[in-house]
Structures are given as structure tokens and as C-alpha cells.
Amino acid sequence: MHLKDKVALVTGAAQGIGQAFVEALLEKGCKVALVDLNADVGKASKDAFDKQYDPQRTLFIPCDVSNEEKLKDAFKNTIQHFGNLDILINNAGVNDEKNWENTVQINLISVIRGTYIGLEYMKIENGGNGGAIINTASLAGLWPVAYQPVYSASKHGVIGFTRSVAMAATAKNYGVRINTICPGFVNTPILQTAFKEEKMGLYYSFKEEIKDKMQFYGILEPSLIAEGLIKLLEDDSLNGEVMKITKQGINFHEYCPLP
């Protein structure tokens, strides 16, 4: 896909990995709707982008992705404002083992819902132009994590859903490619939640092990994850792929062929 002038909607765009995604998309000439729960940080982020890029190319939409009506409105506003939708990045996520239902709701249910709403607008059979959807998972979606069982389950769910719906997209000629991106530890505010009792609950006592793991695996910069995103968007041959990003670089996870 040539990215110039394409319209993208990014959830969890106010900070961290989502913000790096927005920057990379703007660099490529896209127009971007920044969707995030945190209105203060979201507006500050748009203001910062406005100093570097034409303010007409970004739109901040305050929205809790776990609110179905608000999420639908975010898509409607994006399309009303920019005219269409080519790229959807379901990236908003939390680490909350204490209120774990929240983690399933935001990391998995809202990603599924976002994908379905996006497909309604993008599918060729509905008169859309096709496009690409990227769902942010994690390495915790490929392997078990002793201190984050629900986060890990939510991300396994994102990978299973995305690979499956990507097969449906091919079988039914949606014209939409759907892939996941799985980073290791990334230098964003979510990392600090691993050391907070109110987020880790039962698993707070693992804090020293978590520190050791971060040291062992290393902490990546959000710009590297954005590099992976651009690869997934620009290469039209990629569908149903699981991109892993670690200090070893950007690689694809290999699965055994389907039985």
C-alpha cells in the first residue's frame, strides 16, 4: 500500500507506541485520527504534531474504546472528517491483573469490535476501498507469563482472532489485510504498571523478577515498533502475519501448517 494521503485511525494514540505509530504515519503522508481515552494527553499530543505537520492532517477524538457507541462514533467522525478510512490500528491496551475483566474488555473485546466496525467501512463488498488493519498484541500473546495471566490471555486472543479473521478476509475477498504486531518490552508508561500493586494485584510480589526480565530482554524504543508497523502496511503480500519485535529485530512468527 502506498501510504501517502491514506486515512488512518489509531486507538491508544495519545502516548507510547500509539503516538509513535501516528508519527510514522504522518511522516509517510497519511492523515490520522488519534483516538484515546486520555483527552489531556491526546490534545497535547496533537498540539505537538501540529508544530511539525499540517494540523489538518490530524484529528483527536476522545473515546473509551470499551464503550461501543463511542467507538462507533469515533469511526463515523473520522470518515466524516477525512472522507474515508484505509488503515485501522487497534492499539489501545492496558495491564490490569487486579481488575482483570477490564483487561479482557479493552485488550480483546474492543479489538474484536474495532476490527468488525472497521471491516464494515473498508470491505469491498460494502462499497469500501479495502485497506489494512493492524492489531497490537504482544510477545505475551505467544508465550505464557507467570505474572500477567490475564494480559497474556487477552493478547493470545488478539492473535487467534486476527489470524482467523485474516483467513476469512482472504476467503471472502474483503480487500483488507489484517495482521498483528507483537513487541517485547517497550519504553512507554505501561511498563510502570508492572510495579504498582493496584494494577498487579496478586502478582505484585513478582516485581523483582519483572525487573530482571526487563534487564535480560532489554527495553525497545517505540520508534522500532513503528518501523514494524510501516513494513506491515507497505507490503501488500502480508496477511494473517504475527510480527515479533525484540532486540534481535523484526521477525515473523512461524507456525506449523494447518492440518
Closest contact distance (angstroms) between CB of 107 and ligand NAD is: 6
Rounded to an integer, what distance in angstroms lies between the CA atom of residue 143 and that of residue 159?
12
Cβ contacts of 111 within 8 Å, gap of 6 or more: 90, 135, 158, 161
Closest contact distance (angstroms) between CB of 230 and ligand NAD is: 16
CB neighbours of residue 44 within 10 Å: 14
Which long-range contacts link 235-240 to residues 24+ away (Cβ below 8 Å)? 236/1, 236/177, 238/177, 238/179, 239/166, 239/169, 239/170, 239/177, 239/178, 239/179, 240/162, 240/163, 240/166, 240/167, 240/170, 240/178, 240/179
Distances (CA, A) of 142 to 48, 113, 234: 35, 22, 24
197-216: which residues touch ligand NAD (CB under 6 A)? Answer: none
Closest contact distance (angstroms) between CB of 96 and ligand NAD is: 9
Grid-cell match 504486531, residue found: 181
Q: What are the residues facing 113 on neighbouring strands? A: none
> 124 or 191, CB closer to ligand NAD?
191
Closest contact distance (angstroms) between CB of 39 and ligand NAD is: 9
Q: Under the criterion CB under 6 A, does residue 233 sit at the interface with ligand NAD?
A: no
Q: Under the criterion CB under 6 A, does residue 97 sit at the interface with ligand NAD?
A: no
> 74 or 123, CB closer to ligand NAD?
74
Q: What is the dihedral of CA 164, 169, 171, 175, to 10 degrees?
A: -160
Q: Under the criterion CB under 6 A, does residue 106 sit at the interface with ligand NAD?
A: yes
Number of residues that bind ligand NAD (CB under 6 A): 28
Q: Which of 25, 59, 94, 153 binds ligand NAD (CB under 6 A)?
A: 94
Interacting span for ligand NAD (CB under 6 A) from 36-44, 122-130, 202-210, 231-239: 36-44
227 and 250 Cβ atoms separated by less than 8 Å: yes
Q: Is 203 a catalytic residue?
A: no
138-197: which residues touch ligand NAD (CB under 6 A)? Answer: 138, 183, 185-186, 188-191
Q: Which of 33, 92, 150, 224 binds ligand NAD (CB under 6 A)?
A: 92
**Which residue among the candidates 121, 147, 151, 203 is catalytic per the annotation?**
151
Q: Which of 37, 85, 232, 242 binds ligand NAD (CB under 6 A)?
A: 37
* Closest to 177 measured CA to CA, from 55, 82, 86, 249: 86
Question: What is the bridge-based pairing of β-strands 58-62 and 7-11?
Answer: unpaired
Give the residues lining the site for ligand NAD (CB under 6 A): 11-12, 14-18, 36-38, 63-66, 91-94, 106, 136, 138, 183, 185-186, 188-191
Catalytic residues: 151
